Amino acid sequence: MSDGLAIRTQALTKRFRSGQVAVDGIDLAVPRGAVYGFLGPNGSGKTTTIRMLLGLARPTSGRAWLLGAEVPHEATRVLPRVGALVEGPAFHPYLTGRANLARLDAGDATADPRTSRRRAESALERVGLTAAAAKPYRQYSLGMKQRLGLAAALLQPRDLLVLDEPTNGLDPQGTREVRHLVRELADGGATVLVSSHLLAEIEQVCSHVGIMSRGHLLLQGDRTELLDRGAARLVVTTRGAQTGAAAEVLTGLGLTEVEPPDEPPGDASRDVPARVTAALGPTPPEKVAAALVHAGVDLLGLEVARPSLEQVFVGLTGEGFDVAR
């Protein structure tokens, strides 16, 4: 199947014996070369979806393709091209980080044993674990265990990386390093699907997003285009004494939801900067700026405030991202 997609699903569904529907008929479309942020609160169905994609769980109904091959039927053919980190890595507790990677590499029929050590050292270096490579895994912190799981996914060059909550347990510096690593992988031509409940973190690195809630895929697509669909607001900064005039100009241009400051300025605040906001709509910001200046409004600042991914999610569902769910 040559449709330009690294991952595609068709009505993919998972219903447990209890009757709970964890994933409800989703149609994922992950373009090749994308960094796809697979986002949603804990319990929204992200990990179950990933497990079905990788052949770790069988779907109740629906179909899925990785790199053009249908899974699970063609899993043995395509999975050597896929690196994955799912639900926290599991390693032998009494082996070192380096030895654990060596065992994994030895079990890969596609790996050249002559270059095994070189690959392991390179993977450890990429995730910042070189100094801890000789420590037993049982002495690793949660963040170090997560890094070793990433290293395992990077032992071989991969066309597709599927990373489930890769920043779990990492400190801010480790989170920044994972973001850098994801960008590096994408720059090298790989497609990366990153599952996370931390929208603000993933928003900084993804080119495409899919947002899950209660087993449903609420929306997906190019990140910039999705955010542009949101209610962008124009923010005009002028002097306190001129907020009324600025609001009149915005209304005259057809902008809606014009909101001047709550209270009219007192004598002491007439020259203090104040903001007037409005829903931007189709009006070009440069046209607004020209109209304000023409009307004699002192334009101290003008910006377009676009919603974050989390604000888009809240607008769709009325819910926030409660990580305890």
CB 6 within 8 A of CB 67: yes
Q: Distance of CA 228 to CAs 75, 194, 204, 224, 291, Å?
A: 37, 22, 16, 6, 24
116-126 vs 142-153: helix axis angle to the nearest 10?
Answer: 130
Under DSSP, is residue 89 helix (H, G, I), strand (E, B) or coil?
A: coil
- CA–CA dist 10, 293 (Å, integer): 53
Give the per-residue pLDDT at 229. 64
Give the per-residue pLDDT at 325. 35
Give the per-residue pLDDT at 267. 52
Please state the pTM of the whole predicted model.
0.78
Q: How many CA atoms lie within 13 A of 238 on its CB side?
A: 26
Under DSSP, is residue 176 helix (H, G, I), strand (E, B) or coil?
A: helix
Please give the domain boundaries of the chain with CATH numbers for all domains: 5-228 (3.40.50.300), 231-305 (3.30.70.260)
Give the per-residue pLDDT at 310. 75
CB 124 within 8 A of CB 151: yes
Give the per-residue pLDDT at 8. 97
| Under-70 pLDDT residues of the chain | 1-2, 88, 228-230, 262-269, 317-325
Give the per-residue pLDDT at 291. 94
